[in-house]
Amino acid sequence: MRKFIATLLLGASLFAGPAMAEQITIGLSAPLSGPQAYFGTTWHNGFKLYVDKLNADGGVNGVTVAYEQEDDKADPREGTLVAQKFCDNDQVVLGLVNFNSGVAQSTLPIYEDCSLPTMTFGSNPSLTKQGYKLMVRPVANDLAGALLPAEYALGKLGAKTALVVNDKQVFGQGISEIFAKNFENGGGKVIDTISVAPSDVDFAAVLAQIKPKKPDVIYLGAVMPQLALFAKQMHEQGITATLIVPDGGYTPDLIKQAGEPNVQGTLVAIQVPPMDASPEIAEFAKLYKAKYGEEAGPYSIYGYVQGQILEQVLKTTKGLTREDINTALHAVKVKTAVGELEFDETGELKVAPSYLYKVEGSKFQLVGSK
C-alpha cells in the first residue's frame, strides 16, 4: 500500500507542471562597468522592469522570477567566469547574456556544456552557425545591421566610394566586413580598409591616410568611446565624408564626448525602434523613466521584450528544468512591444527589423528602417 501511495504521489508531482514551483532564477550577464556599462545596465533594467511587474501580478501560473546579475565587463575572460557561475547554480534555468559578440563567442560553449539555455545579444552572424542548441538571439544580427546603412549610403546619399575602419575585434571587424560587402554588391567601391587597435585614442596618423583618399562615406566598426573620439578628430581634420557607425554609437555619450558640431549627419545603425514608434513602446518608455528616473537606453526595450518572451515561455513550458525551458523558448511565438517574434531552428529571429538614425542637433532622428 505504501508503495502504491508513493507511486501516486510521484505521478502527481510529474504532471503538476510549473505551478508546483514557486520561483526560478534568471542569470543576467552584461557590461555593468567600464565604457559599455550604459548599454548593459539599461538593457538589464528593461528586463527587470517587466519581471518586477510580472511578479507584482503574481507571476505566471504561480511561478515568480528572481534574477542574479553579474558584470562581464565586456571581457571574454570575465564572461566565462560568470558563465561557469551560472552553470554551477542549479536554480538558474535561463541566461540573458553578453552584449558583446566577442564575449558571447567565449561563453556560449560553456552554456551549451551545462545545458543552460540563453538569450544573447551578441550580434555576429557566426554565433548561430556553430550548431548551438540552447541559444536564441532576440535581436537582428549584423547581416541586417550592416545592410541598411550600405543601402542608404548608395541610394540616399549617392555615395560612390567608402573607406572602412575597424578595431580588429569580433564585432567591429565582422560588421565592417559585412558593410563593405553590401556596399560593393550595391555598386559602390571600397577604396581602403584600415585597422586600428581597440585601445587607440589618437587617430591622427589614420586620418592623415584617409584625408587624401576623399571617400564619400567612412564606416567605423568599433565601440564607444572610440566612436566619439574618431568622429571628433575626423571633423577637426576637415574630413567631410559621412561617418557611419554601428549600434554602439546610439547613445547620448556619442554626441557629448565628440561634441555636437563634430557628429552632425553621422549615421547610426541599430535594431531599436524609436520610443514613439507605437503606443506600447511609448508606454514602456514612460514606465521606465518612472522606475529609474532616466530615459530608457538603446536596448532597454529589448530587455523588456525578453521579459515578455520569458512570460510566454512560462505559460507554455511543461516543466521548469533547463531542458523544459529551452524547448519552450525555441518554440515560442509571442506578440511583444516590438511586434510578433519567433525563432528559426538556429535561434535567429524569423523577422528581424533594423533602423537607421542620423544625428541632428543633439538628437537621433530616424531616417530609415528595414
For residues 327-337, one letter each, b for 16 or more C-beta atoms within 10 angstroms of the residue's C-beta and e for the rest, the string is bbbbebebebb
Write the DSSP assignment of 2-20 as a string of letters: HHHHHHHHHHHHHHS-GGG
Q: What is the pLDDT of residue 370?
A: 87
Using the predicted structure, report yes or no on whether residue 221 has a pLDDT greater than 80.
yes
Same fold, 2-140+277-337 and 144-270+355-369: yes
Q: What is the pLDDT of residue 278?
A: 93
Those residues with Cβ within 8 angstroms of residue 124's Cβ, 6 or more apart along the chain or in another chain: 101, 104, 105, 141, 142, 170, 171, 174, 175
CATH architecture assignment, domain 2-140+277-337: 3-Layer(aba) Sandwich (3.40)
What's 144-270+355-369's CATH class? Answer: alpha beta
Grid coordinates belonging to 5: 501511495
Q: Of 37 and 12, which is predicted with more confidence?
A: 37
Using the predicted structure, report yes or no on whether residue 16 has a pLDDT greater than 80.
no
Average pLDDT of span 240-248: 97
- The whole-chain average pLDDT of the chain stands at 94
Q: Which helix (H) or strand (E) holds 54?
A: helix 37-56
Grid coordinates belonging to 267: 549615421
Grid coordinates belonging to 307: 521579459
Average pLDDT of span 320-344: 97
Using the predicted structure, report yes or no on whether residue 10 has a pLDDT greater than 50.
no
* Sequence spans of domains, the chain: 2-140+277-337, 144-270+355-369
pLDDT category, 2, cuts 50, 70, 90? Answer: very low
pLDDT category, 3, cuts 50, 70, 90? Answer: very low
Q: Of 286 and 7, which is predicted with more confidence?
A: 286
Using the predicted structure, report yes or no on whether residue 6 has a pLDDT greater than 70.
no
Q: Of 271 and 110, which is predicted with more confidence?
A: 110
Question: Which pLDDT tens digit goes with each residue over 145-194?
Answer: 899 999 999 999 999 999 999 999 999 999 999 999 999 999 999 999 99
Q: What is the pLDDT of residue 145?
A: 84
Q: Which helix (H) or strand (E) holds 30?
A: strand 23-30
Q: Are 330 and 343 in contact (CB under 8 A)?
A: yes
Q: Of 1 and 327, which is predicted with more confidence?
A: 327
What is the side-by-side strand order in the sheet with 267-270? 189-195, 161-166, 217-221, 242-245, 267-270, 355-360, 363-369
Percent of the chain predicted with pLDDT > 90: 92
Average pLDDT of span 334-345: 96
Identify the three-state secondary structure at position 61.
coil
Using the predicted structure, report yes or no on whether residue 18 has a pLDDT greater than 70.
no
At 322, the amino acid letter reads R
For residues 54-86, one letter each, b for 16 or more C-beta atoms within 10 angstroms of the residue's C-beta and e for the rest, the string is beeeebbeebbbebbbbbbbbbbebbbbbbeeb
Question: Which pLDDT tens digit goes with each residue over 191-214?
Answer: 999 999 999 999 999 999 999 999
pLDDT category, 13, cuts 50, 70, 90? Answer: very low
Write the DSSP assignment of 319-365 as a string of letters: -SSHHHHHHHHHH-EEEETTEEEEB-TTSBBSS---EEEEEETTEEE
